[in-house]
Amino acid sequence: MLKTLRQIAKVGIVTESPPAADEDLRIREALEQRIREVLGRALCIRQVDAGSCNGCELEIHALGNPIYNVESLGIRFVASPRHADLLLVTGPVSRHMEVALLRTYDATPDPKLVVAVGDCGACGGMFGTGYATTGPVSSVIPVDVIVPTMQPRIRNSSSPSAIVACVAGCSARAMRPRVLLGA
* Strand (E) or helix (H) holding 157: none
CA distance 47 to 43: 13
Q: What average pLDDT score do residues 130-141 get?
A: 83
Q: Which of 38-42, 61-65, 119-123, 150-154 has the highest mean pLDDT?
A: 61-65
pTM: 0.69
140: left (phi over 0), alpha (psi -120 to 50) or beta: alpha
**Residue among 119, 89, 118 at smallest CA distance from 102:** 89
pLDDT value of position 171: 55
Please state the separation of Cα 147 from the chain's center in Å.
Answer: 9
Q: Residue ranges per domain, the chain? A: 41-180
Q: Which of 19-23, 27-31, 55-59 has the highest mean pLDDT?
A: 55-59
**Cβ-based neighbours of 56, under 8 Å, separated by 6 or more:** 90, 91, 117, 118, 120, 121, 156, 157, 158
Question: For 41-180, CATH number?
Answer: 3.40.50.12280
**Cβ-based neighbours of 66, under 8 Å, separated by 6 or more:** none
Q: What average pLDDT score do residues 126-131 get?
A: 75
pLDDT value of position 150: 52
Name the band, by pLDDT with cuts 50, 70 and 90, for residue 23: low
pLDDT value of position 57: 80
pLDDT at 86 over 80: yes
CA distance 101 to 55: 19
Mean pLDDT of the chain: 75
pLDDT at 170 over 50: yes
Please state the separation of Cα 100 from the chain's center in Å.
Answer: 21
- Taking a C-beta distance cutoff of 8 angstroms, is the pair 93, 140 a contact? yes
pLDDT at 180 over 60: no
Rounded to whole angstroms, what are the CA distances from 40 to 43, 106, 167? Answer: 9, 23, 16
pLDDT value of position 169: 63
